[in-house]
Amino acid sequence: MAIQVGNEFPETQLKYVPFDAANPEVCGLPQVLDTKKDFAGKKVVIFGVPGAFTPTCSAQHLPLYVAQADAIKAKGVDLIVCVSSNDFFVLDAWGKQNQ
């Protein structure tokens, strides 16, 4: 299914581990992001990468979004979501490494 700008995102649940700036070394408890509820009324950018800790994703894909996060949000985006084939604990560790 191709998604165009302005389309409603398909309903699904994504698991993630929220980042805690006060305790960055602690691995938090997994949470559920419910696209129907958590994307409702929001402008969301979703991008996917083949895998965390892969050379190209770590050097090129993710850093571009991290570096441009403020500019993206300045265009009215409420949430930036990265998805990958990895589990949420791996993505949590990768995210901490690439803040």
Residues marked as catalytic: 57
Q: What is the pLDDT of residue 79?
A: 95
pLDDT attached to residue 98: 83
Contacts 24+ apart (CB under 8 A), 69-78: 72/45, 76/43, 77/43, 77/44, 77/45, 78/42, 78/43, 78/44
User: Would you give per-residue pLDDT tens digits along the chain (99 residues)?
Assistant: 677 887 888 899 999 988 887 887 778 889 999 999 999 999 999 999 999 999 999 999 999 999 999 999 999 999 999 999 999 899 988 988 887
Q: Structure tokens of 43?
A: 């402008």
**pTM for the full model?**
0.83
Q: What is the pLDDT of residue 55?
A: 92
